[in-house]
Amino acid sequence: MSEMWLNMGPQHPMTHGLWNLRVKIDGEMILDVDPEVGYLHRGIEKISEDRHYNEVITLMDRCCYVAGFAWEHMYILASEQALHLSPPERAEYLRVMCEELQRIASHLMWYAAFVVDIGLQSPFLYGMRDRDLILDLFQSYTGARMTYEYMRVGGVRNDLPAGFTDRARQVMDWLDKKFVDYDRLCLGSTIFRGRCDGLGVMTARDCVATGVTGPMLRSAGMKRDLRRDRPYSVYKQLDFEVAVADGADVTARYLVRMEEMRQSVRIVRQVLDWLDHHPGPVLADRLPRWLGAPYAPQGREGYLLKRNYPKGVGFSAIEEPHGEAQAYVVNEGGEHPYRVKFRSPVFANLSAARHYMIGYHVADIPPIMGSVDICIGEVDR
Amino acid sequence: MQPDDLAKALTSRLGNQLIGVETFVGMAGRVRFRSEAALDLFRTVRDDLGFRHLSMVGGIDWVDHREVFYVVWSDDDHQYAILSTDLPADQPHIESATPVWESANWHERETWELVDIGFDHHPDLRHLLMPDGYAFHPLLRSFKLHEPEELEVKRRSV
Amino acid sequence: MTDVPALPKVAPTMAESYRLTGELPMVGEAAVPFIEIETVRAKEFIPAAKEAFSALIIEQGQSKVLRPTFNWAGRNSLFPLHWGLACCAIEFAAAFSARFDAERFGIVPRSSPRQCDLMIVNGTVTWKVAHKLITLYEQMPEPKWVIAMGNCATGGGPFRTAYSVVPGVDKLVPVDIYIAGCPPRPEAMIDGILKLETLIRERKE
CATH class of A53-380: mainly alpha
Nearest Cα of chain C lies from the Cα of A43 at a distance, in angstroms, of: 6
Residues paired with residue C179 on neighbouring β-strands, in sequence order = C149
Helical residues (DSSP H) of chain A, grouped into ranges? 44-48, 56-63, 68-83, 89-118, 122-142, 164-187, 190-196, 204-210, 215-218, 226-229, 250-277, 345-351, 353-357, 365-372, 376-380
Q: What is the Cα–Cα distance from A178 to B147, expressed in whole angstroms?
A: 49
Going from N- to C-terminal start, the domains of chain A cover 53-380
Tens of pLDDT along chain A (381 residues) come to: 688 999 987 888 887 888 999 999 998 899 999 999 999 999 999 999 888 888 899 999 999 999 999 999 999 999 999 988 889 999 999 999 999 999 999 999 999 999 998 888 889 999 999 999 999 999 999 999 999 989 988 889 889 999 999 999 999 999 999 999 898 888 888 888 888 888 889 888 888 889 999 999 999 989 999 999 889 889 999 999 999 998 888 999 999 999 999 999 999 999 999 999 999 888 887 777 667 544 443 433 334 445 567 888 999 999 999 999 999 999 887 778 899 999 999 999 999 999 999 989 998 998 999 999 899 999 988
Inform me whether the C-beta atom of residue A12 falls under 8 Å from chain C C-beta atoms: yes
Among A23-37, B84-98, C1-15, C42-56, where is mean pLDDT lowest?
C1-15
Q: What is the Cα–Cα distance from C147 to C179, expressed in whole angstroms?
A: 7
pLDDT for C151 equals 93
pLDDT at C97 over 80: yes
Sign of the C-alpha dihedral computed for residues B118, B123, B128 and B133 taken in this order: positive
Q: What is the Cα–Cα distance from C55 to C44, expressed in whole angstroms?
A: 18
Angle, CA A78 vertex, CA A75 and CA A81 arms, to 5°: 145
Nearest Cα of chain B lies from the Cα of A274 at a distance, in angstroms, of: 26
Inform me whether the C-beta atom of residue B62 falls under 8 Å from chain C C-beta atoms: no
Which amino acid makes up residue A95?
R
pLDDT for C125 equals 94
Substitution target from A8, A36, A39 for chain C, most C beta carbons within 10 A: A39
Size of interface A-B (CB pairs under 8 A): 105
pLDDT for A335 equals 76
Q: What is the Cα–Cα distance from C131 to B132, expressed in whole angstroms?
A: 13
> A336 to chain B: which residues are within 8 Å by CB?
157-158
Q: What is the Cα–Cα distance from A366 to C162, expressed in whole angstroms?
A: 32
Region C12-34 average pLDDT: 58
Q: What is the DSSP letter of C103?
A: G
Q: What is the Cα–Cα distance from A296 to C31, expressed in whole angstroms?
A: 80
pLDDT for B157 equals 46
Give the nearest partner residue to B148 out of C127, C128, C160, using CB atoms: C160
pLDDT for A233 equals 87
pLDDT at C196 over 90: yes
Let me know: does B93 contact B120? Beta carbons within 8 Å: yes
Closest chain B residue by Cα to residue A324? B55
pLDDT for C40 equals 56
Q: Provide the phi-psi class of B152: left if phi over 0, else alpha when psi is between -120 and 50, else beta.
A: alpha
pLDDT for A263 equals 94
pLDDT for C7 equals 58
B145–C162 C-beta distance less than 8 A: yes
pLDDT for A305 equals 45
Q: What is the Cα–Cα distance from A165 to A274, expressed in whole angstroms?
A: 10
pLDDT for A88 equals 92
DSSP per residue, A197-248: TT-S---HHHHHHHT--THHHHTTT----HHHHS--TTGGG--------SS-
A377–C162 C-beta distance less than 8 A: no
Q: What is the Cα–Cα distance from C109 to A244, expressed in whole angstroms?
A: 37
Nearest Cα of chain B lies from the Cα of C156 at a distance, in angstroms, of: 11
Give the nearest partner residue to A43 out of B58, B138, B155, using CB atoms: B138
Nearest Cα of chain C lies from the Cα of A47 at a distance, in angstroms, of: 6
Region C75-95 average pLDDT: 92
C97–A43 C-beta distance less than 8 A: no
pLDDT for B142 equals 87
pLDDT for C132 equals 92
Residues paired with residue A325 on neighbouring β-strands, in sequence order = A318
Residues paired with residue A3 on neighbouring β-strands, in sequence order = A26
Give the nearest partner residue to A38 out of C81, C98, C128, using CB atoms: C128
Substitution target from B146, B150, B151, B155 for chain C, most C beta carbons within 10 A: B146
> B27 to chain A: which residues are within 8 Å by CB?
315
Inform me whether the C-beta atom of residue B27 falls under 8 Å from chain A C-beta atoms: yes
> C137 to chain A: which residues are within 8 Å by CB?
none
> B131 to chain C: which residues are within 8 Å by CB?
127-128
Inform me whether the C-beta atom of residue A206 falls under 8 Å from chain C C-beta atoms: no
Inform me whether the C-beta atom of residue A297 falls under 8 Å from chain B C-beta atoms: no
> C98 to chain A: which residues are within 8 Å by CB?
125, 128-129
Element containing residue B6 per DSSP (H, E): helix B3-14
A positions 228-287 inside 8 Å of B (CB): 229-230
> C93 to chain A: which residues are within 8 Å by CB?
112-113, 128
Inform me whether the C-beta atom of residue A381 falls under 8 Å from chain C C-beta atoms: no
Phi/psi at A330 (5° precision): -110, 120
Report residue C25's pLDDT band, with 50, 70 and 90 as the boundaries: low
Among A290-294, A330-334, C46-50, C94-98, where is mean pLDDT lowest?
A290-294
Inform me whether the C-beta atom of residue A7 falls under 8 Å from chain C C-beta atoms: no
pLDDT for C1 equals 45
C127–B145 C-beta distance less than 8 A: no
A positions 49-78 inside 8 Å of C (CB): 50, 58-59, 61-62, 65-66
Inform me whether the C-beta atom of residue B127 falls under 8 Å from chain C C-beta atoms: no
Give the nearest partner residue to C162 out of A17, A46, A66, using CB atoms: A46
Let me know: does C86 contact A377? Beta carbons within 8 Å: yes
Tens-digit pLDDT profile for residues C154-192 = 988 889 888 899 988 989 999 999 999 999 999 999 999
DSSP per residue, A80-115: HHHHT----HHHHHHHHHHHHHHHHHHHHHHHHHHH
Closest chain B residue by Cα to residue C159? B148
Q: What is the Cα–Cα distance from A334 to A83, expressed in whole angstroms?
A: 10
pLDDT for A312 equals 87
- Sorted by sequence, the CB contacts under 8 Å of residue C17 that are 6+ apart come out as C10, C11, C25, C30, C31
pLDDT for A171 equals 94
pLDDT for A302 equals 37
Closest chain A residue by Cα to residue C135? A11
Based on its alpha-carbon atoms, the radius of gyration of chain C, rounded to whole angstroms, reads 27
pLDDT for C8 equals 58
Strand order across the beta sheet in which C177-179 lies: C118-122, C145-149, C177-179
Nearest Cα of chain C lies from the Cα of B90 at a distance, in angstroms, of: 24
Tens-digit pLDDT profile for residues B14-31 = 777 778 788 887 777 888
- DSSP three-state, residue C96: coil
Report residue C29's pLDDT band, with 50, 70 and 90 as the boundaries: very low
Among B2-6, B111-115, C112-116, where is mean pLDDT lowest?
B2-6
Inform me whether the C-beta atom of residue A46 falls under 8 Å from chain B C-beta atoms: yes
Q: How many CA atoms lie within 13 A of B129 on its CB side?
A: 30
A343–B71 C-beta distance less than 8 A: yes
Q: How many CA atoms lie within 13 A of C191 on its CB side?
A: 10
Element containing residue C145 per DSSP (H, E): strand C145-149
Closest chain A residue by Cα to residue B81? A315
Q: What is the Cα–Cα distance from A351 to C156, expressed in whole angstroms?
A: 29
**Could you count the other beta carbons within 10 Å of the beta carbon of residue A280?**
11
> C159 to chain B: which residues are within 8 Å by CB?
none
Q: What is the DSSP letter of B141?
A: T
Inform me whether the C-beta atom of residue C165 falls under 8 Å from chain B C-beta atoms: no
A66–C90 C-beta distance less than 8 A: yes
Q: Work out the end-to-end distance of chain C between its first and last CA atoms, rounded to an integer number of angstroms.
A: 50
Inform me whether the C-beta atom of residue B72 falls under 8 Å from chain A C-beta atoms: no
Total count of residues recorded for chain C: 205
Region B7-16 average pLDDT: 75
> A108 to chain C: which residues are within 8 Å by CB?
none
B147–C161 C-beta distance less than 8 A: yes
